[in-house]
Structure 1
Amino acid sequence: MVGWRRAKWSNWQRRSTQDQVETSTRWVLFSTPWIFYFSGSPQIVPNVDDAPLPMGLVGLIYLLGLVQCLLSMRGLRKGMDFYLGTGPVPVRWLVAMVVVQAPIVALLLTLVAADWVKPGPAVALALFGSLPGPLGVYGLCVTPRRALKLVAALTTALTGAFAVAGMGWASLVVLVIFVAVTGCIGVFAPRSSTWYLSVMRELDQARTVQPRLAVAEERLRFSRDLHDVMGRNLSVIALKSELATQLARRGAESAVEQMEEVQRLARESQTEVRAVVRGYREVGLQTELAGARGVLRAAGVDCRVEGGTLEMPPEAQSALGWVVREGATNVLRHAEASWCAVHVSAVDLAGGGPAAVLVMENDGVSARPTKGGSGLVGLRERLAALGGTLTAERTTDPDGAALFRLRAEVPVGAEFPGGADVPVGEDAGVPPVEGGAVEAGAVERDGGAGLGYERPSGDGVGGSTATG
């Protein structure tokens, strides 16, 4: 039994946050018919005569209420699928629930007409235990206005029917209140929960579309740059080639000069294309920091960046830029993070040379370590070629929460100002985010032993986000 519980809990932890929220919301919604049933239906027993026939009718009401709860669970599932656009209208389930509800109302009318039930809220509570299920399924399939019209019509019809059966005016007032409130709860509780799930699905789809849009934009940029470089040169090459052909047919010596010009343009074009491709492949640290911050914020992760404009060779900038890109990708793919902190600093190595250190830290680490991929291996090889190192470790914060820390260290040569303080915010070359500058906390300058991240006080997206 213990092993089974552990397996279920482990499977639950491996699910994504969206899957966990959707599953828990569905089961809470499926349990509401039972909550209404067990809180309302038993109240009729002490208010009914002890004779065998009235008690038999009450027992039949209980039995039909149980059937209604079972039908409501399945009907709500089908209604939610229809609302979310993944299933048809659950007409058969609505008809089945109406068929079950009608005898419940008829039996209650019989008890009232025969004067076998005492005045009070007993009848209203019995309806409270059986009406929310079918009303909830109906509310998921129609507009709110139409559902409210049904609640109003149902309240009027039930009030009239029980008044004809002989129910007193005080009990009728209680009946009207209970049916109206029950109808509104039954209609809007499932609808609001399902609307919440639909919004979450749309956000998840937006998160999957955003990387594809980024790739498409980068392809457009590259094609535009390539067109700007090659368009004019290819046009000039075509014209000069045609001119050289005409001159050669006439035997003019200037044809050779034109072909030499074509050769020069071709070589220049080749050089320019290589420069474009080289710029496309190279990664800038400041660009990657700004891009990672924007992508993580769009994904709901509060990202703080400090020290993005240290002076260092282009090779070190590119290597650390690849680290930021891989780290941000891992946060999005392998963590359910609420915050991420990036710090770039200057340190003096033990051997006496200056180095640039980048530390990237985030929460939301899965309980189970993921399988190692090729991304970090490639980064280690890239940094090793420059004499640098890369470490990745799981750790915990003072509160015991799991953290993941990625630390990259690259020697930068004697011209690097080791240990110098770093400008942050507007002076760092990246425009500040709304909300102003951020106090980064006690950030250690000895190589990133701990970022001292101060969790945001807001919702983590539009609140205090650091500039970099």
Structure 2
Amino acid sequence: MRDRIRSWHRRKWRDRSRVEKVEVQSRLIWTASTWFLFVTWDLMFVLEGLGRGPLPLALAATLLAAGVAQCVQGNRVHRLALDHYLGRGSAPRRGLVTAGVLCAVSVALLAGLRAAHGIKDPLVMFVLLFALLPFGMTYCLLLPTRAFLLRFTAFGVPLVVLFALAGMGGPQLAGLAVVTALSGLYVLLVSRCGAWTLSVLGEADRARESEARLAVAEERLRFGRDLHDVLGRNLSVIALKSELAVQLAQRGRPEAVAQMVEVQRIAQESQREVREVVRGYREADLDVELDGARGVLEAAGIACTVRGTTGALPADVQSALGWVVREATTNVLRHGDARSCSVTVTATDGAAGLVVENDGAPERPAGAPGSGLAGLRERLSVLEGTLTAGPVTGGRFRLTARVPLAGDPGTEEQAPAAAGRRRGVRA
């Protein structure tokens, strides 16, 4: 599990999904905010204790060292706690104990600096906020919200007692208790809410993948059901008549020939029906594919516009272009980080054209080219069509398919051969 998490972190930025990019940005913000608060709240105010006696100097230097250790340990254990919250690892209990000890040491040093140097109480409040932050950001990810608030509130009691012994007055102690409670709410808003947002985005992404797998499984079930309805009865009849023919042949009865002739007829009928089922399954309706592409892309958060009409196109051309739309939609979802996609259907100059263009294309294609585009070229070649695909300016990717229509001057000489190949496909 840990090796898988490490490999996830080593992936390049362009290869990540949008959910993974949001997670990386959130982790960077959490890490940077811890160091930013150390520099602005801890370092500046602790420097007030330098140069005013050996004891304040030693306490201030030790407090600064403890603050650096809190940043390093807090960020490390927070990454592990976030992975645990998202269901990708175990809870970092030992690292949490270390972060808690560092937090307690920083609070104790701050109380000692307050007693030895008399640092101003408002400055104590700011330093205390930072001292509680690295531990609290991790601790809130490992407990239910209510339990975390109760424990963090209970932690304020010994904190108030400690600073009362350090010489802090009554009103300041009340303010210290309020600051402790507010710091608990702050880490919940910063850390827990951000982690919850990441979990929701991850669940939505997984739900979209599950929906796609369910659609494929449903189509397979439909195809299997159609085949069962076509072949189930006929195969049962073939089995019975074959058994009857065997019995008649063993008795030397001439009726066995008639039964086998009937078996042959039913087998040929079944073969014809299976071909019809497969033809209906493999032929794609262009209007249906365009509507399906728009729905799938918009469900994935990609704006999709469809232009042009398909009513005047022949059925075989619509089927071929429908497969192009299906494959292009799959590529838009799987590759790059598209936010918009346009599909244009044209029928001019004796040819039908289809252009699918999307943004968010990767700078360099990842891995070897797949077999989807090669399969489309094979389908279009039967109709003397062409397919081109590749990146264009502006970080966009364009796929263009062109299929000649009947009467195209450029294809008159090839028409007989193409017609023959079409008849061969339909046979």
TM-score (norm 1): 0.76
Distance 2:58 2:261 in 1: 109
Q: Distance in 2 between matches of 1:96 and 1:249?
A: 88
Shift of 1:144: 0.9
Larger helix proportion, structure 1 or 2? 2
How far apart are 1:229 and its partner, in Å?
A: 0.3
Does the 8 A contact of 1:37 with 1:128 survive in 2? no
Distance verdict in 2 for CA 1:406–1:88, change over 3 Å: closer
SS in 2 for 1:406: strand
**Residue equivalent to 1:69:** 71
RMSD: 2.8
Question: Which letter does structure 1 place at the counterpart of 2:75?
Answer: M
Q: Please state if 1:356 is matched with 2:358.
A: no
Is residue 285–residue 308 contact of structure 1 (8 Å, CA) maintained in 2?
no
Q: Distance in 2 between matches of 1:361 and 1:25?
A: 31
Q: 2:107–2:131: 8 Å Cα contact kept in structure 1?
A: no
SS at match of 1:131: helix
Distance of aligned partners of 1:289 and 1:44 in 2 relative to their CA distance in 1, 3 Å threshold: same
Matched, 1:101 2:103: yes
* 1:3-62 superposed Cα distances (whole Å, 9 cap, x missing partner): xxxxxxx95445443333322221221223222222222224437892332232222222
Q: Which letter does structure 2 place at the counterpart of 1:88?
A: S
- 36 and 178 in structure 1: CA distance in 2 versus 1, 3 angstrom threshold: farther
Match of 2:385 among 384, 388, 397: 388
Give 2:294's aligned residue. 293
For residue 173 of structure 1, what is the amino acid of its counterpart? A
1:408 to 389, 401, 406: 401
Question: In the alignment, what sits opposite 2:424?
Answer: none
Q: Tell me the residue number matched to 2:8.
A: none
Give the Cα separation in 2 of the matches to 1:344 and 1:188: 49
* Aligned counterparts of 2:369 and 2:81: Cα–Cα separation in 1: 42
**Cα distance in 1 between the residues matched to 2:93 and 2:12:** 35
Of the candidates 52, 55, 64, which is equivalent to residue 50 of structure 1? Answer: 52
* Paired position in structure 2 for 1:440: none
- For 2:152 and 2:395, the matched residues in 1 are separated by 50
Deviation at 1:269, TM superposition (A): 1.0
Match of 1:221 in 2: 222
Q: Which residue number in structure 1 is paired with residue 236 of structure 2? A: 235
What SS is found at the alignment partner of 1:129?
A: helix
> Matched residues in 2 for 1:272 and 1:386: separation?
25
* Cα pair distance change 1:389/1:82, threshold 3 Å: closer
1:292/1:328 contact within 8 Å kept: yes
**Aligned equivalent of 2:94:** 92
Does structure 2 retain, via aligned residues, the 8 Å contact 1:33–1:130?
no
How many percent of aligned residue pairs carry the same amino acid? 48
For residues 74 and 330 of structure 1, what CA distance do their matches in structure 2 show?
37
CA distance in 2, matches of 1:244, 1:382: 44
Partner of 1:432: none
Give the CA deviation at 1:133.
0.7
1:365 Cα shift? 1.4
Summarize the Cα distance change of 1:128–1:402 in structure 2 as closer, same or farther, 3 Å threshold.
Answer: same
CA contact (8 A) 2:234 2:266 kept: yes
Hey, what does 1:273 align to over in structure 2? 274
Once the two structures are TM-superposed, the CA of residue 141 in structure 1 deviates from its matched residue by 1.1
Which of these residues, 363, 367, 374, is aligned with residue 363 of structure 2?
367
Letter in 1 for 2:101: V
- Partner residue of 1:332? 333
SS in 2 for 1:312: coil
For 1:90-169, what aligned pairs fall within 5 Å after superposition? 90-114=92-116, 116-169=117-170
Give the TM-score taking structure 2 as reference length: 0.83
Provide the C-alpha distance between the structure 2 equivalents of 1:266 and 1:300, rounded to a whole number of angstroms: 49
| 3-state DSSP of counterpart to 2:141 | helix
What count of residue pairs does the alignment treat as equivalent?
Answer: 396
Structure 1: unaligned runs, 5 residues or longer: 1-9, 416-468
Q: How far 1:293 moved relative to its partner?
A: 2.5
Alpha-carbon contact 2:389-2:397 (below 8 Å) kept? yes
Cα distance change on mapping 1:163 and 1:305 into 2, 3 Å: same
- Asked if residue 319 in structure 1 is aligned to residue 320 in structure 2, the reply is yes
Contact 2:344 2:354 in 1 (8 A): yes
Matched, 1:80 2:112: no
Structure with the larger RCO, 1 or 2 (CA within 8 Å, 6+ apart): 1
Instruction: For 1:433-448, list aligned pairs within 5 A.
Output: none
Q: 1:381 to 1:82 in 2, by over 3 A?
A: closer
- Residues in 2 aligned to 1:226 and 1:381: alpha-carbon distance in whole angstroms: 26
- Counterparts of 1:123 and 1:414 in 2: how far apart (Å)? 87
- Measured at CA, do residues 226 and 158 of structure 1 come closer, stay the same or move farther in structure 2, by a change above 3 Å? same
Counterpart AA for 2:266: L
Distance in 1, matches of 2:49 and 2:176, equals 15
CA deviations over 1:416-463 (Å, ceiling 9, x no partner): xxxxxxxxxxxxxxxxxxxxxxxxxxxxxxxxxxxxxxxxxxxxxxxx
Structure 1 residues 248 and 367, CA gap change in structure 2 (3 angstroms)? closer
CA deviation digits over 1:141-170, x for unaligned, max 9? Answer: 111111101221122331233234331233
Task: Indicate if the aligned counterparts of 2:70 and 2:99 stay in contact, CA closer than 8 A.
Answer: yes
- Residues 101 and 298 (structure 1 numbering): CA distance in 2 closer, same or farther, change over 3 Å? same
Shift of 1:308: 5.1
Gapped runs of 5+ residues in structure 2?
Answer: 1-10, 409-427
CA distance in 1, matches of 2:389, 2:69: 56
1:421 is matched with which residue? none
SS of equivalent to 1:54: helix
Give, as a single letter, the amino acid of the residue that structure 1 aligns with 2:406: G
